[in-house]
């Protein structure tokens, strides 16, 4: 198995988890037809286009963005993904103007088909296609719930539609068409992704890494550690921390409860956050994530300037030493830490990570007594934005 989870302080599963509710949460891994529909539906898209622009917000984008970043370390494909996932006006304009529209497909992702930002992207793209004399039916794809706006839009435009099962919440949807469509477009192995996720479902009871992770984090939360740090060592695994942050924050931040996620990139943030981690308040629990395999490495020359002890060392050796030094320093300080060591970049290992954290999130929600699904706290802001736009 490619992911090793190590706890550096005692953890014993003692909370009365409802294991059935955790391990049978709606993750849809039994619905093999989702993968087959994606493979079949994308055949003409992959033949015709070299770029796919994924237009979606939050859970409609972060999973695919994580897949794309993780795959950057090992995956080879002639196609690429671009993400429209923020309404910053300059970013939107630069993204759209930087495309070869004839060679670009646009994938719109929203369970409801009403997400304001995604609707703005859709209308901009439709206008751009019209001005260029291009057919929407050939350039657009829609991903959403059946019976809602995007399925109706796809039917009206004669464009492909891919289903997100209605029972799957958006931030838990990475293993559905939300993640599968962009992943398959860039030849990421979606079958292997699912196999890794299934592997995370198999260990149950006190030895389940997912339940132990939930127990570990909730124990420290209840002890006053209100911040959950994910220290990702490596540019290609760092985006996973963004996906995790939404999952943990939106699922648990309810009824006055919740543990604030904080992202860190190694080794960069050793020079910005570690001072706080070491000598600041002991209000954090730490997750260190690192991939062992190195695809491309460089070796320093036998004679170097300034630091003689790095002469002849590989860049990976220096990187590993900095990782180990920071981890050991935090442990000596008595900080609670869990380490996730991934043997290599692969679709299997990423599927395992996705499922591990989805399970841990559902389990933690049980202990805290909150519903991990839905996000009622964001609705007021949406309502006020609509009022401002409707009554300028």
CATH number at residue 232: 3.40.50.10490
Are 231 and 152 part of one and the same domain?
no
Average pLDDT on 350-366 reads 97
148 is an active site residue: no
207 and 251 in a common domain: yes
Residue 382 lies in a domain: no
Mean pLDDT of 313-330: 97
DSSP string, 243-312: HHHHHHHHHH--TT---EEEEEEETGGGGTTHHHHHHS-S-EEEEEEEE---SS--B--SS-SS-GGGTT
**Does 338 have pLDDT greater than 70?**
yes
| Final residue before a domain boundary, out of 188, 220, 245 | 188
Q: Is residue 384 part of a domain?
A: no
Digit-coded pLDDT (tens) for 261-298 = 999 999 999 999 999 999 999 999 999 999 998 888 99
Domain co-membership, 13 together with 99: no
| H/E segment holding residue 180 | helix 177-185
Co-location of 276 and 367 in the same domain: yes
CA atoms within 13 A on the CB side of 210: 27
pLDDT of 94 reads 98
- Give the Cα separation of 58 and 346 in Å (integer): 24
CA-only gyration radius of the chain, Å: 22
Residue 387 placed within a domain? no
* Residue 388: pLDDT band with limits 50, 70, 90: confident
Residues 201 and 156 in one domain: no
In a domain, 33, yes or no: yes
Q: Compute CA distances 23 → 17, 28, 167, 291, 368, whole Å.
A: 10, 11, 15, 26, 17
> Both 209 and 181 in a single domain?
no
Query: What mean pLDDT comes out for the span 345-361?
Result: 97
Q: What is the pLDDT of residues 161-193, one digit of tens each?
A: 999 999 999 999 999 999 999 999 999 999 999
pLDDT of 383 higher than 90? no
Whether 250 is a known active-site residue: answer: yes
> Which domain range does residue 161 map to?
23-188
Helix (H/G/I), strand (E/B), else coil: 170: helix
The verdict on residue 383 lying in a domain is no
What residues contact residue 389 under an 8 Å CB cut-off, 6+ apart? Answer: none
- The DSSP code sequence of 318-355 is HHHHHHHHHHHHHHHTT--EEEEEESS--HHHHHHHHH
Asked if 150 and 285 sit in the same domain, the reply is no
User: In this predicted model, what pLDDT tens digit does every residue of 29-48 receive, in sequence order?
Assistant: 878 899 999 999 999 999 99
Number of folded domains that form the chain = 2
Q: At 305, is the pLDDT very low, low, confident or very high (cuts 50, 70, 90)?
A: very high
Q: Are strands 227-233 and 284-291 parallel, antiparallel or unpaired?
A: parallel
Alpha helices in 77-115 (DSSP H): 89-97
* CA dist., res. 58 & res. 382, Å (int): 14
Question: Where is pLDDT greater, at 87 or 26?
Answer: 87
Mean pLDDT score of the chain, rounded to an integer?
A: 95
- The answer to whether residue 147 is domain-embedded is yes
How confident is residue 1, by pLDDT bands cut at 50, 70 and 90?
Answer: low
Q: 3-state DSSP call for residue 6?
A: strand
Q: Quick check: 26 pLDDT over 80?
A: no
Is residue 144 assigned to a domain? yes
Residues 231, 254, single domain; the answer is: yes
Which is catalytic among the residues 48, 102, 130, 382? 382
Mean pLDDT of 225-244: 98
| Residues 316, 333 within the same domain | yes
Same domain for 158 and 297, yes or no, is no
**Which one of 271, 303, 387, 388 is the catalytic residue?**
271
Domain boundary among 173, 188, 203: 188
Model confidence at 358, pLDDT cuts 50, 70, 90, reads very high
The confidence score (pLDDT) of residue 9 equals 84
H or E segment at 83? strand 80-84
Of 151, 163, 199, 250, which residue is the catalytic one? 250
Last residue of a domain, one of 157, 188, 219: 188
Quick: pLDDT tens for 86-144. Answer: 999 999 999 999 999 999 999 999 999 999 999 999 999 999 999 999 999 999 999 99
Q: Is the separation of the CB atoms in 22 and 210 below 8 Å?
A: yes
Angstrom distance (rounded) from CA 136 to CA 103: 13
Residues 143 and 27 in one domain: yes
Residue 99: predicted pLDDT: 98
340 within some domain: yes
Q: How many residues does the chain have?
A: 392
Whether pLDDT at 70 is above 90: yes
Which pLDDT score, from 0 to 100, does residue 163 have? 96
Residues 216 and 311 in one domain: yes
């Amino acid at each position: 198995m490619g992911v090793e989870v190590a706890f550096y302080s005692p953890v014993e599963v003692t909370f009365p988890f409802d294991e059935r509710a955790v391990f049978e949460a709606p993750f849809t891994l039994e619905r093999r037809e989702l993968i087959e529909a994606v493979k079949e539906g994308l055949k003409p898209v992959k033949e015709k286009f070299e770029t796919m622009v994924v237009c979606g917000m939050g859970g409609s984008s972060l999973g695919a963005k994580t897949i794309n970043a993780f795959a950057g370390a090992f995956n080879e494909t002639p196609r690429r993904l671009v993400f429209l996932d923020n309404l910053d006006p300059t970013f939107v304009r630069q993204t759209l103007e930087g495309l070869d529209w004839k060679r670009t497909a646009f994938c719109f992702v929203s369970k409801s088909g009403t997400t304001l930002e995604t609707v703005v992207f859709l209308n901009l793209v439709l206008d751009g296609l019209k001005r260029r004399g291009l057919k929407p039916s050939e350039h657009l794809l829609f991903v959403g719930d059946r019976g809602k706006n995007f399925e109706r839009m796809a039917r009206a435009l004669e464009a492909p539609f891919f289903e997100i099962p209605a029972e799957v919440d958006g931030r838990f949807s990475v293993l559905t068409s939300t993640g599968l469509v962009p992943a398959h477009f860039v030849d990421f192995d979606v079958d292997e992704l699912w196999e890794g996720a299934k592997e995370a479902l198999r260990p149950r009871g006190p030895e389940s890494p997912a339940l132990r992770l939930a127990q570990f984090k909730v124990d420290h939360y209840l002890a006053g550690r209100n911040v959950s740090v994910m220290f990702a060592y490596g540019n290609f695994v760092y985006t996973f921390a963004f996906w995790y942050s939404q999952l943990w924050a939106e699922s648990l931040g309810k009824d006055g409860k919740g543990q604030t996620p904080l992202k860190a990139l190694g080794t960069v943030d050793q020079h910005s956050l570690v001072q706080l981690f070491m000598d600041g308040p002991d209000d954090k629990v730490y997750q260190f994530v690192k991939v062992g395999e190195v695809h491309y490495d460089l070796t320093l020359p036998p004679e170097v300037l300034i630091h003689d002890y790095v002469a002849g060392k590989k860049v990976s050796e220096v990187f590993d030493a900095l990782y180990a030094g920071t981890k050991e320093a935090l442990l000596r300080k008595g900080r609670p830490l869990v380490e996730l060591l991934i043997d290599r970049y692969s679709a299997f290992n990423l599927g395992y990570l996705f499922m591990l954290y989805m399970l841990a999130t559902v389990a933690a929600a049980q202990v805290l007594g909150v519903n991990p699904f839905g996000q009622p706290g964001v609705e007021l802001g949406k309502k006020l934005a609509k009022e401002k736009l409707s009554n300028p």
